[in-house]
Chains A and B, each alone.
Chain A
Amino acid sequence: MPYRWDFTSVLANWPALAVGALGTLRIFAICLVLGLGLGLIVGLGRYARRRVLYYPATAFVEFFRNTPVLVQILWFYFALPILVPVEISPLAAAALGISLNSAAFSADLFRGGIQSIEPGQWDGGRALGMTYAQTMRRIVLPQAVRRMVPALTNRAIEIFKMSTLASVVAYVELLHQGQLIASLHFNPIETYSVIAIAFFLFLYPLVRATYAIERRLARGD
């Protein structure tokens, strides 16, 4: 007997899904800013020649790149409050895990982007009397980031999808709401299909938008 698809029970729960979607967008926004921001800082450390900057940055990257995000989230949620007396919300634990992992991966994107800029650009800035920081901020980074747009888009997509990992600590996002609906209405096929489609509908326009940005940036070259 072929399976008869029935989406009514899923769609009837649209308010729960909407709440989940908001939760997904919220953690995505937080992790995008924290992950890429921290990634830039760590990436500058990885690029630096000074050991006090290079070694800690490298240790950070290697640690968070080589441990699973899921384990980090669980560790921040269940282990950290036992070790130090802090209350940690599901959002904080999940955002921390995803952001640190993303920072580790994007750090090397930033380092690679900075390294790809011709030495002549540094000469050009420094010959004007710019400091290292000014040359980096005004001359090198803007060009590096422009080259990094495709790679950063991939990072953003990863972060968006990693937000589903927050469901393990009962953070209210799309997957968490889906699990709830599926268990209440015994409709996992329809529910998880809807969740998957919802992710696609969020991400695809985002990707198209970054293509447009890439084309706009390319015109300057």
Chain B
Amino acid sequence: MDTPVPDAATLLSVRGLHKRFGALHVLRGVDLNISRGDRIAILGASGSGKSTLLRCLNFLELPSAGRIAIGARPVGHETRRTDGSIDVRYREAELVRLRQRVGMVFQQFNLFPNMSALANVMEGPRTVLGLSRAEAEARAREELARVGLTDKLREYPARLSGGQKQRVAIARALAMRPEILLFDEPTSALDPELVGEVLHVIRTLAEEGRTMLLVTHEVGFAYHVASRVVFLAEGIILESGTPDEVLRHPREARTRAFLARHNEFNF
């Protein structure tokens, strides 16, 4: 395992991250450094904590223990409990600012069904960044053009295909001009024939040099697009390295088993 040392290029660093849901201990001490331009693919069996890790990075889930720092600044402030242990508290205002810098794309798209594609993409710039209607619309048109949906501006999500919905969701995240993009299984809810168009958009974004983390089951895509692959098992990073190291020459038996299952029908 790599021992992450944050340096000037580090955008986001994770130290000793734990997440519990009641008795369920999902993340058991994750360390991760994300530098500018990193394209990190997170692989792992279902239940290994991939999505939870991603959701902790923009604090849709609050860590149970450990620290996440954006740039050099740790998020939240430490208070000491009466028993001497450390508790980290998070202020809503701080998390809201942080989420503006970390965009997220969900498996289930989570588009706003009562708004057109254009309005979905305008919503963040309008409400959060306070742009004027004209500015927000210009930005939304630009981002929707980037994902190839210039002809669907006025459509409502219900009338879009899964692939189109996910592309609107990507445009919506991009319109906030985030420093990091988080993709949480962006193609897992799609019909197989629609996966390609979404992966194509993500690949284009990767080629533009954007920093991104991608939870995915598309091993082949991870191999070609990621700069680093992280294999998660039972809430810890079991293995991490270049795509070639992790996907072609895995050291851990469980990584090998996982890859064997995923390549079963590749011919």
Contacts and interface: CB of A to CB of B under 8 A. Distances in A.
Interface of A: 120-121, 123-132, 134, 138-139, 142-143, 146, 220-221
Contact of B112 (A121, A129, A132, A134): A121
Contacts of B113: 143, 220-221
A118 B168 CA distance: 19
* Closest CB pairs A-B (n = 9): A129-B100, A124-B110, A128-B124, A127-B104, A120-B110, A129-B99, A129-B128, A120-B108, A131-B96
B92 A132 contact: yes
Given A120-B106, A221-B113, 16 more contacts: A123-B110, A124-B106, A124-B110, A127-B60, A127-B110, A128-B100, A128-B127, A128-B128, A128-B176, A129-B96, A129-B128, A138-B123, A139-B112, A143-B113, A220-B113, A221-B156
Interface residues of B, number: 26
A125 B173 CA distance: 11
A129 B97 contact: yes
Contact of A127 (B97, B99, B158): B99
B60 A142 contact: no
A219 to B, nearest CB: 9
B114 A146 contact: yes
A178 to B, nearest CB: 44
Nearest to A140: B112
Given A127-B173, A131-B92, A142 B114 contact: yes
Contacts of A142: 114
B164 interface: no
Given A134-B128, A138-B127, A128 B110 contact: no
Nearest to B126: A138
Interface in B89-111: 92, 96-100, 103-104, 106, 108, 110-111
A124 B103 contact: no
Interface centre among A129, A138, A142, A221 (most CB of B within 10 A): A129
A129 B123 CA distance: 11
A126 B60 contact: yes
B240 interface: no
A3 B69 CA distance: 87
B52 interface: no
Contacts of B112: 121, 124-125, 139, 143
B58 interface: yes
Contacts of A130: 96, 124, 127-128
B139 to A, nearest CB: 13
B155 to A, nearest CB: 11
Contacts of B156: 220-221
17 contacts: A121-B110, A124-B111, A125-B112, A126-B99, A127-B60, A127-B104, A127-B173, A129-B99, A131-B92, A131-B96, A139-B112, A139-B123, A142-B114, A146-B114, A220-B158, A221-B156, A221-B158
B153 to A, nearest CB: 16
B106 A123 contact: yes
Given A143-B113, A220-B113, A128 B99 contact: yes
Nearest to B128: A129
Contacts of A138: 123, 127
A131 B128 CA distance: 8
Interface in B153-195: 156, 158, 172-173, 176
A139 B110 CA distance: 11
Nearest to A121: B110
A220 B158 CA distance: 8
Contacts of A123: 60, 104, 106, 110
Contacts of B173: 127-128
A128 B158 CA distance: 21
B103 A127 contact: yes
B92 A128 contact: no
A142 B92 CA distance: 23
B232 to A, nearest CB: 21
A34 to B, nearest CB: 27
Interface centre among B108, B110, B113, B172 (most CB of A within 10 A): B110
Contacts of A143: 112-114
Contacts of A128: 99-100, 123-124, 127-128, 172-173, 176
A192 to B, nearest CB: 45
Contacts of B60: 123, 126-127
A172 to B, nearest CB: 42
